[in-house]
């Protein structure tokens, strides 16, 4: 027994792994999933193509993790912004503003995360992304209903529908090119009506 991986090596390995994920994310943000060949990711990460497979069994596994990471980051940002608000109406407003703002700031990435054609195994990860948003919103809606701020409704359904409305309102502009944030206030008004926020 003359070799047993040590802390230093483990750290280097995990650094490599992170670099690969970061490279994949960077390419997605620049050229979408379509630009993400394994070779391109490896080159950007500064490793050989084959080395990618020391960390991930398949490309789909890699990108499942990439999507998970990126989605978590998005959901966290949205949750953080919403947590600063007190009423369901304001919490949901914060969700919409943060979500849209970030999407408009990184349109290529947003498009890749939301709607770009990807490997089915990666696509599955998107469902959990959307689910995470829906769960977040459902919590605010449920609290709003409980406190009487909002009329009775199924928070799950409301949340799912809101996520769809939000995504759809963004995807059009994202696919078309430049997207003006002009519609965001209108979108918030729509969503408040949908929630039953009393004016």
Is 48 near DNA (CB under 7 A)?
yes
Q: Are 144 and 195 in contact (CB under 8 A)?
A: yes
Among residues 6, 34, 81, 132, the one that binds a second copy under rule CB under 8 A: 34
> Tokens 């890749």 identify what position?
112
- Residue 186 CB, shortest distance to a second copy, in Å, is 5
Is 90 or 123 the residue whose CB approaches a second copy more closely?
123
Q: Are 36 and 56 in contact (CB under 8 A)?
A: no
- Residue 71 CB, shortest distance to DNA, in Å, is 21
| Per-residue binder mask for a second copy (CB under 8 A), 140-179, x = binder | -----------x-xx--xx-xxxxxxxxxx-xx--x----
Is 120 near DNA (CB under 7 A)?
no
CA dist 86 and 112 (Å) reads 32
**146 contacts: CB under 8 Å, gap ≥ 6:** none
- Residue 98 CB, shortest distance to DNA, in Å, is 32
Give the number of residues written for the chain.
199
The torsion of the CA quartet 65, 71, 75, 80, rounded to 10 degrees, works out to 70
Number of residues in contact with DNA, rule: CB under 7 A? 25
Is 2 or 176 the residue whose CB approaches a second copy more closely?
176
Is 67 near DNA (CB under 7 A)?
no
Q: Is 87 helix (H, G, I), strand (E, B) or coil?
A: coil
181 CB neighbour count, 10 Å cutoff: 14
Site for a second copy in 91-150 (CB under 8 A): 116-120, 123, 127, 130-131
Quote the DSSP letter at residue 47. Answer: S
Residue 177, exposed/middle/buried by CB under 10 A (0-12, 13-18, 19+)?
A: exposed
Give the residues lining the site for DNA (CB under 7 A): 1-6, 8-9, 12-13, 16, 36-39, 47-51, 53-54, 58-60
Instruction: Provide the binding-site residues for a second copy, judged by CB under 8 A.
Output: 34, 116-120, 123, 127, 130-131, 151, 153-154, 157-158, 160-169, 171-172, 175, 183, 186-187, 189-191, 193-196
């Amino acid at each position: 027994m003359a070799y047993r991986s040590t802390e230093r090596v483990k750290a280097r390995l995990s650094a490599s792994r992170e670099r690969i994920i970061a490279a994949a994310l960077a390419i997605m943000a620049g050229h979408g999933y379509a630009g993400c060949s394994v070779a391109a990711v490896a080159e950007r990460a500064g490793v050989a193509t084959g080395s990618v497979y020391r960390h991930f069994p398949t490309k789909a596994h890699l990108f499942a993790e990439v999507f998970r990471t990126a989605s978590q980051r998005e959901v966290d940002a949205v949750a953080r912004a919403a947590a600063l608000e007190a009423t369901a109406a304001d919490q949901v407003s914060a969700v919409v503003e943060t979500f849209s703002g970030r999407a408009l700031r990184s349109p290529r990435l947003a498009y890749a995360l939301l709607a770009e054609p990807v490997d089915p195994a990666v696509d599955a990860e998107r469902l959990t992304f959307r689910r995470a948003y829906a769960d977040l919103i459902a919590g605010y809606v449920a609290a709003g209903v409980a406190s009487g701020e909002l009329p009775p409704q199924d928070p799950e359904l409301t949340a799912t529908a809101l996520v769809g409305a939000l995504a759809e309102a963004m995807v059009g502009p994202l696919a078309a090119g430049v997207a003006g944030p002009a519609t965001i206030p209108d979108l918030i008004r729509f969503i408040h009506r949908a929630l039953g926020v009393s004016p």
